[in-house]
Structure formats: structure tokens, C-alpha cells
Amino acid sequence: MASLLGARLARAGHGVTLAGTWHAALEAVDRHGVSVEDTDGRWSAPVHAVHSTAPMTPHELVLVLVKSHQTQAIAPAAARAAGLGGFLVTLQNGLGNREALEHAAGRGRVGVGVTLAGATLLGPGEVRGHLAKTILGDDGSGRAARACRLFRDAGLETELELNIDRVVWRKLAVNCALNPLSALEGVTNGTLLERSLWRETIETTAREVGAVAAVRGMELGDTAAQALDAARLTAGNRSSMLQDLERGVRTEIDAINGAVVLEGRRLGVPTPANEALWRAVRQREAGLVTGARR
């Protein structure tokens, strides 16, 4: 996702620096920019790339797009990249990212957003993108509005939302319902609609998230219908969790279904479907690690 959004912003004329740890990708991007395949066809944009530990000139806007389990580790570097006056925006999946970034950068300096766009990494510096709406939380300071304008300049459909927590939890319900199931079964989102058992799992899992949110004071609407609609709209998408399992790397399951289970326990809301998916993905992760060590 970082490559896709970074390339879009760079093509619109904004100075962009991608920071990460994958040496091959950093080298490819710094030499040749980012190559993108999306609705505009095939194109590329010049983007500067540095290791996340390297010193950087402070930036007005810092987008945080790492996996949720990496947020705490990179939060100090992200705060330094924003300097004293920059604004950090997390568009990550799951819960806990804002809090980790605020701990490093300070309260009032972190914005939260949700993007429905998708990206598949094809290789170092190469990405296939699916463009869709991005929603940024409006904190009233004007900084989110400036970020919104930057995104729109880059051809990204973007809007502001005062009640961003509700939007975050709605996406969380969809992620909880689709991502682990698609990863465990090894299928695209749309394929999950082809079997009644899969559809029932989607509906039950999404409803549990809605029940936890309701106790927290947020009415999310019909989360089961929202999850099924999302599967139809992203029918050809291979979830990031599926891609992670295929690559043998850690998933975001703890920040997605795991976070819902823990919050449900705290509030006394049962979440058995989410817990079953959480445990199943964790088991699959452990097996991949064990197999790799053999």
C-alpha cells in the first residue's frame, strides 16, 4: 500500500520518501521509482527511498502503512520523520496503531483513516493497485483537511469523517470476517460467497464485531450484510492475510480478530467465531515457522 500511495502522490508532484527495511525494494525504488499497474494502466513515478532508521528531513505528512505488529517498533522513527510540526496518519488495519503512534509523537499529532484501496506487491518496487475510497478522521485542526487535499491531488477519492472510530470498526468487522477465512482457505474474497458454510462464518464473525462495538457505544448497522457486500465488491482481491501466509510471514491477526476477542472479554461480549479464526491463523503461522526451521 505504501508503494501505491507513495507513487500516486509523487506523480502528482509531491516530494515523497518511502521508508522501510526491505533492502531490495529500497534499492529498486531509489534507482527506478515505483512501477504501478492500476486503472490508469502501467506507469511509474520517481520516489526517494531510505531505510527506516536513516535520518530524514522532517515531512509535513507521514503516512504509516506498516503491518500492525510493526507499529510499536517504527513509531519513534515515524515521529522523528514528522519533526515538530508534522502530522502522522495511520491507514492501517486493526486496533492499537493510533495509541502506539501517539505514545511516540504525542496526543493530537496522529490522525486515523481507513482506505478501501488494495495493493498487491509484484516485486521490489512493483505494485498492482485497486483504487477505492479513503476516509480520514477530521480532528478539526485543519491538518486532516490538508491531507485530504493531497490525496485528492493524487487522484485518490478521499473524504473527511467526524466519527472516524465508527468507520474504523466497520472496516474491522469486514476484515475480521473476510481476511482470516480467505487466508485459511486460500481463496479470493469473492470465492468465499460460493459456499454456505463460508457465508455463515462471515456473517457470524461480523455480527460479533458489531456486538462488541455496540457495547462500546457505536452502532455499526448490519455488519453481516456489510461484510458480504465487501466480498462482492472486492471479489478478485487476495487478502493481505492470505498473501502473508503464502509468504510465510506474520499476519495481522492479533490486531484484527485477536483485538476483538480481547475487547469482547473485557466487556463481557462472547466472540467464539472470531476466537476460532484467531486461533486457526495463529496455528497456521506457527506451522509455517516450524516448517521453515526444518
- 42-59 pLDDT tens trace: 999 999 999 988 888 899
Q: How high is the pLDDT of residue 289?
A: 54
Distance CA(266)–CA(216), nearest Å, equals 11
What residue ranges in the chain does DSSP mark as E strands?
Answer: 17-20, 34-38, 41-45, 48-51, 61-64, 87-90, 110-115, 118-123, 126-130, 134-137, 158-161
Mean pLDDT across the chain: 94
Distance CA(159)–CA(144), nearest Å, equals 10
Q: How high is the pLDDT of residue 291?
A: 45
**CATH numbers and ranges of domains, the chain:** 2-162 (3.40.50.720), 165-293 (1.10.1040.10)
Query: What confidence category does residue 293 fall into, taking pLDDT thresholds of 50, 70 and 90?
Result: very low
- Tens-place pLDDT, residues 14-33: 999 999 999 999 999 999 99
- Tens-place pLDDT, residues 263-285: 999 999 999 999 999 999 999 99
Q: How high is the pLDDT of residue 292?
A: 44
177-197: b (≥16 Cβ within 10 Å) or e: bbbbbbbbeebbbebbeeeee
Cell numbers at 115, concatenated: 482506505
- Tens-place pLDDT, residues 128-165: 998 889 999 998 889 999 999 999 999 999 999 999 99
Catalytic pick from 8, 11, 67, 171? 171
DSSP 8-state assignment for residue 94 = S
Please give the model's pTM, rounded to 2 decimal places.
Answer: 0.91
pLDDT at 81 over 90: yes
Percentage of the chain beyond pLDDT 70 is 98
- Tens-place pLDDT, residues 193-229: 999 999 999 999 999 999 999 999 999 999 999 999 9
For residue 55, the tally of other CB atoms under 10 A from its CB is 8
pLDDT at 290 over 50: no
pLDDT at 3 over 60: yes
Q: How high is the pLDDT of residue 294?
A: 33
Whether 171 is catalytic is: yes
